[in-house]
Amino acid sequence: MRVSRIRAGIAAAIVLAVPATASAHAGGPAAPSAVPAVALLVVAAWLYARGVRRLGPRWPRRRVVSAVAGAATVVAALLSPLGILAESSITAHMAQHTLLILVAAPLLALGRPFTVIAAALPRSPRAGRILGTPRPGLACAAHAAAVWLWHLPPLYDVALARPAVHTLAHATLLGTAMLLWWSVSRGRARVTGALWLFVTAFHAGALGALLALSARPWFSGATLEDQQLGGLVMWVPAGALLTAIALALLAGWLRAGAVSSAARRVGVLAAIGVGIAMLGGCNGAGPTATMMAGGDPARGRDALRTFGCVTCHTIPGVRGAVGTVGPPLSQFARRSYAAGAPNDPDHVVRFIQHPRQVRPGTPMPEMGLSDHDARDMAAYLYTLR
């Protein structure tokens, strides 16, 4: 009876894929990649059901429910309208990967699919030992390699162009994420698992930040706006969720009282250190200013002093800039208006370079600045928050 319910649940997850598969065969954009994805899901579901039958009543029902929910999430990510949209939109692609890595993977990991599938295969104690002992550090490294490799421009473009490669990309991202989540949910491994989740949030957030702050598209046929929004999806919500789960694991470990006070202090200090490092890495004032104005903030700070702006303005961070003739430039990046118009980087650059053309009657003189110098100055001003 119980096995029939399991089969029914898994069958329901597969049935959800039928409409997407049918539309794919009807000529939709997801047609090439739907067939291998469905085939893998069917094979995995059959093996899981077979393994649960062999394990018998001793296998917890909650793990079966988690596995079915994880499989349904995979179907929703790959074979729904989101999967079709991900073929042409980086933002949808990153949302798809976030759903696979942060929702489907932990649900599947709780279902212990490797253990169950190993039970479905011919008896092999060695295979069971290999699948049963994932180490957080190795799992984190494998997942990091998959995330970064499949988001490098050449591999990303090849994956979109070739269905088999695209399926392999999804399989490695989901598989390594499952290993990571499995490894961090094992008893005493939770404290080290929390730290590895911090590491994962840090490196994945760094990749998202690079995509969001890039001044040009990385991928063929992509728009810069789509890439930047996709990077933000990977950077902010995904990173925040990973950090929250890591903190929850760490809090559970501390409440368990299974370690000495000294070990607790070490764990807390390590978490605080990683958190500070992550916050430092997320401080994107310099890169954001460079992206907005197209200049170098460090050179801009020197240029503000070289061209005499310190005579008239008070400018934080610029030595000797205590002038009172012009308005102070503190918190410039937070201002809604600048130079008589909305605070837009291109407007600010034009005003710095040709102030009297942009705003006739202004006392600010023409200083013969090049476009390069003006952009450097604007870039520094946009670091003032």
pLDDT tens string 352-377: 989 888 888 888 888 888 888 888 88
Strand partners of residue 314: 322
Of 13-27, 74-88, 291-305, 340-354, least confident by mean pLDDT is 13-27
Q: Is the predicted pLDDT of residue 282 greater than 60, yes or no?
A: no
Please tell me the distance from the alpha carbon of residue 273 to that of residue 349, in angstroms, as a whole number: 39
The answer, yes or no, to whether residue 297 has pLDDT greater than 70, is: yes
Nearest to 73 by CA among 16, 143, 7: 16
CA distance 163 to 299: 46
**How many CB atoms lie under 10 A from the CB of residue 306?**
11
Going from the C-alpha of 65 to that of each of 70, 78, 108, 168, the distances in angstroms are 9, 20, 9, 26
DSSP string, 217-273: --STT--HHHHHHHHHHHHTHHHHHHHHHHHHHHHHHHHHT-S-HHHHHHHHHHHHH
Q: What angle do CA 362, 303, 289 make, to 5 degrees?
A: 85
CA dist 82 and 94 (Å) reads 10
> Looking at the domain 291-381, which fold is it?
Cytochrome Bc1 Complex; Chain D, domain 2 (1.10.760)
**Main-chain dihedrals φ then ψ at residue 341, nearest 5 degrees:** -150, 170
**What is residue 349's predicted lDDT score, i.e. its pLDDT?**
87
The residue ranking higher by pLDDT, 37 or 272, is 37
pLDDT band at 2 (very low <50, low <70, confident <90, very high): very low
Q: Which two tokens stand for residue 200?
A: 């994962």
CA–CA dist 149, 207 (Å, integer): 11
> Residue 188: what pLDDT?
53
Q: Report whether pLDDT(126) > 50.
A: no
Q: Which residue ranges does the chain devote to CATH 1.10.760.10?
A: 291-381
Separation of alpha carbons 68 and 265, rounded Å:
39
Q: 185-242: per-residue pLDDT in tens? A: 765 555 677 788 888 888 888 888 888 888 788 888 778 888 888 888 888 888 888 8
